[in-house]
Amino acid sequence: MAIAHDQGICIRHWDFSETSQTVTLFGREGGIVRGLAKGARRERGAFDGGIDLLSRGEFGVIRSARKELATLTEWDLLEVFPRLRTDLHANRAAFYMADVLGRMLPPDDPHPALYDRFARSLRALGGAASGEGPSIDGPAALLAFQWSLLGETGHRPDIDSAAPVGPDVVEYLPEAGSFREPGPGGPAGARWKVRRTTVAQLRACESGIDAECVPGSVERGNRFLAACVRHVLGAEPPTMAPLFGEPARSSA
């Protein structure tokens, strides 16, 4: 069978045997790939001594409709993110991103723009080994990732439904995916209170601007989008609480 080649980031792995691994890769051109890497843990071979979690590389894969797992034929390491090993917040953010990617994307569904955003966010969070703490771009990069993920999967909040000026707080209707001005009436169901400055930060994110427009708005935006992710999944991923504590259910 033909070998397809792609670049990808490892979002999950576990040992299959003393010398082999099963891994989940997020490929740029092929999307989520779950595969078996036979002999991956040998020091010499086609896998650079193993495929590490949250590393980026080029790989070869053979897919078969008759097998649940694809067969990985090679792995050429391209990039690692060393600060993820030394910075707890960066580590938790990266694990969260990898976790929700695996939960929200079906196999073999390409999202090259989301892949590029994931790689850039990993670089912002963990691209340099230093004792200086988290990169100032890290929270904004996480926000951009969550915004891209929700958009690529068809669940992005409709920010156009919120007027740019008005009361400080608007209401978000998660079932409708839209905002409304606060007040009586409107459809039944859950309503989350969201600051208008948070919506403005999401507009900046939509425009490709990673900078923080109002102090605290990036953090509130991240917590709001994390609550949207949880709503879409119908359950809270285990990586969410270590990163956010308790993502706001009713305000952001």
Cα atoms in the 13 Å half-sphere on the side-chain side of 91? 11
pLDDT tens, residue by residue, 98-141 = 999 999 999 999 999 999 999 999 999 998 644 444 444 789 99
Cβ-contact 37, 26 below 8 angstroms: no
Give the closest residue to 198 by CA, choosing from 235, 138, 157. 157
Domain boundaries, the chain: 4-79, 82-244
Q: Where are the beta strands (DSSP E) in the chain?
A: 4-15, 21-27, 31-37, 56-62, 70-79, 169-173, 178-180, 192-195
Cβ-contact 100, 149 below 8 angstroms: yes
pLDDT at 245: 87
* pLDDT bucket at 40, cuts 50 / 70 / 90: low
- 210, pLDDT greater than 80: no
pLDDT top residue among 207 and 50: 207
Integer Cα distance of 134 and 128 in angstroms: 10
Cβ-contact 128, 146 below 8 angstroms: no
Degrees, nearest 5: CA angle 73-38-58: 35
Same fold, 4-79 and 82-244: no
pLDDT, mean of residues 2-26? 87
Its pTM stands at 0.89
pLDDT at 64: 80
Residue 119: how many other CB atoms lie within 10 Å = 21
User: What are the CA-CA distances from residue 225 to residues 51, 78, 146, 230 (Å)?
Assistant: 30, 30, 6, 9
With a pLDDT cut of 70, the percent of the chain lying above it is 85
Pick one of 1.10.3720.10, 1.20.1440.120, 1.10.357.10, 3.30.460.10 as the CATH number of 82-244. Answer: 1.20.1440.120
Integer Cα distance of 174 and 234 in angstroms: 12
CATH of domain 4-79: 2.40.50.140
Give the closest residue to 124 by CA, choosing from 141, 107, 109. 141
pLDDT at 157: 97
pLDDT at 251: 60
pLDDT top residue among 16 and 117: 117
pLDDT at 141: 93
pLDDT top residue among 51 and 76: 76
Cα atoms in the 13 Å half-sphere on the side-chain side of 101? 34
pLDDT, averaged across the chain: 87
Integer Cα distance of 34 and 43 in angstroms: 22
pLDDT tens, residue by residue, 149-202 = 999 999 999 999 998 888 899 999 999 999 999 887 767 678 999 999 999 999
pLDDT at 48: 66
pLDDT at 136: 46
Integer Cα distance of 157 and 208 in angstroms: 16
